[in-house]
Structure 1
Amino acid sequence: MTTPNSTLRAVRMGLRMSQDEFAREIREAGQRAGHPNDASKRLVQRWESGGTAAPRPVYARALETVTGMPVEALGFSVPSVLARVSDDGHGGHDLEDSPVGVPTSAGAPAPQPAPARGNYSGVWLSTYEFFSSGRGDTFTGKHYVVLLQHGNRLTARSLQNASLNPDSPLTLDLQLDGNTVTGTWTEQTASDGYYRGARYFGALQLLVEPTGRRMAGKWVGFGKEFDVNTGPWELRLMDSSTSKATLDAYNRPPE
């Protein structure tokens, strides 16, 4: 059985594009780069359903242009990720004073999660705090994210214009086990912001309140001095709908 690519779907919905619009953007990105492709709504459907586990290079490059994310962060199969790292030699990134990188363990057997309870799909307000050693102060990051659930997996992507810092998309890839949520986060900072477009990622663990409308816990990541940083993180349900009208309503910076 194939596993749906909820990450790619969440990213597309965060960009507020239909499958047709997403395919058109991929074709146009290929044309601009001089590498035309034949992306179609049907191809996007195959990617999102898991029917096609990894895109060919001509599509991978266009996907990165359209989403602003490396293709290995878009929910495609692990072999394709390894191939990309091997081909272009890029597997790391610079460390600064913002929380960064906690890689997952390769080859370790995955624990069997308990059955998922309820459905947490919808629009959530994500809020986290971090200390910037370079600025000597604590800052708050806020995003409206569209969260999708498939079985025990939760995938979230910030809406296109829905962060306190413009052009700073956030992606969450989480696993639900009872009332515990564990996984990773990735944020691409704004190119004209303090962190100059650096991509940061780390680990995250949250506890779901009995109401199912709030998750609260901690993030963890490394700083530039190779120390482990941590801080609070909260997800609060704003609307259980993922309709276009709802996404449009929350496609704005949080107050």
Structure 2
Amino acid sequence: MTQPNSTLRAVRMGLLLSQDDMARALREAGERAGEPNGCNKRLVQRWESGDVASPRAVYARALESVTGLPIGALGFALPIPMARVSEDGSGGHDMEPAATGVSPARGGPAPDPRGAAGGTYNGVWLSRYEYFSSGRSGSFLGQHFVVVLQHGNRLTARSLPGSSDSPLTMDLVADRNIVTGTWTEQTAEDGYYQGARYHGAIQLLIEPTGRRMSGKWVGFGKEFDVNTGPWELVFKDASTTKATLAQYNRRPETTP
């Protein structure tokens, strides 16, 4: 069975792009780079469904240009195989899943069926965490609206671009009422942390209603000291339509 690429889908939705929009953006990126490609909606669908686990190099470079993320962070199997070249010099087709690619996680308990959105955790959530800044001698609140997509017991979260200048990603696994995983935040180039990239681990407890997850994050600071603090995800909307995402593509209020 193929494994859907929920990461790529979440990134696309976080950019407020339909599959047609994504295909168009990839073609335009190829034109700008002098590497024309024939991306279309069907190809984007095949990537997201997992029918094609690795894009050709020309598409990989266009994907990186459009999303601003390395291809390894877009949910594709690695390593990405090189495109086959025929005798007439034309490129080959997208590769099928390679035996040497990264295998998706299997097994494990299913998530608690009392999710926020009809038995799953799909939808828009408010991500909110606290951190201490030694340079500013104070505690601060980081907030993002994130798109959460669930496949099996795996949850992928990507922040909406208008909710913060510092994009946030989370890759999680639900084990009954406990969610464990990793987070990455790319700080704003013109912000206090000057484009620094931070990452770490997170564990959350899902409340019985399925509408809130709360717990702790851990990560390294600038001086390689281990920092930690509270983190919560609060359910906002089960819809992931373009109109709903546009509604939440804004800065969250500073008060809970």
TM-score where L is the length of structure 1: 0.84
- Identify which range, 197-206 or 5-14, moves more after superposition: 197-206
The 5-angstrom pairing of residues 87-236 of structure 1 reads: 112-116=107-111, 117=113, 118-163=119-164, 166=165, 168-236=166-234
Looking at structure 2, the residues matched to 34 and 151 of structure 1 have their Cα atoms a distance apart, in angstroms, of: 40
Contact 2:18 2:242 in 1 (8 A): no
Looking at structure 2, the residues matched to 14 and 215 of structure 1 have their Cα atoms a distance apart, in angstroms, of: 21
Looking at structure 2, the residues matched to 173 and 74 of structure 1 have their Cα atoms a distance apart, in angstroms, of: 11
Contact 2:147 2:240 in 1 (8 A): yes
Unaligned runs of 5+ in 1: 84-106
Looking at structure 2, the residues matched to 177 and 13 of structure 1 have their Cα atoms a distance apart, in angstroms, of: 26
SS of the equivalent of 1:155 reads strand
Residue 197 of structure 1 and its aligned partner are, at CA, apart by 2.1
What is the RMSD computed on CA atoms of the aligned residues?
2.0
Residue 69 of structure 1 and its aligned partner are, at CA, apart by 1.2
SS of the equivalent of 1:30 reads helix
Contact 1:205 1:219 in 2 (8 A): yes
Contact 2:108 2:153 in 1 (8 A): yes
Q: How many residues align?
A: 227
Is 1:16 matched with 2:12? no
SS of the equivalent of 1:246 reads helix
2:41 aligned residue: 41
Unaligned runs of 5+ in 2: 83-101, 114-118
Looking at structure 2, the residues matched to 113 and 248 of structure 1 have their Cα atoms a distance apart, in angstroms, of: 34
Looking at structure 2, the residues matched to 78 and 175 of structure 1 have their Cα atoms a distance apart, in angstroms, of: 20
Q: In terms of Rg, which structure is larger?
A: 2
Give the share of equivalent positions with the same residue, in percent: 70
Contact 2:56 2:80 in 1 (8 A): no
SS of the equivalent of 1:79 reads coil
Cα-to-partner distance string for 1:69-90 (whole Å, 9 max, x where unaligned):
1111111114349x9xxxxxxx
2:3 aligned residue: 3
Looking at structure 2, the residues matched to 5 and 24 of structure 1 have their Cα atoms a distance apart, in angstroms, of: 20
Looking at structure 1, the residues matched to 25 and 107 of structure 2 have their Cα atoms a distance apart, in angstroms, of: 38
Looking at structure 2, the residues matched to 219 and 25 of structure 1 have their Cα atoms a distance apart, in angstroms, of: 35
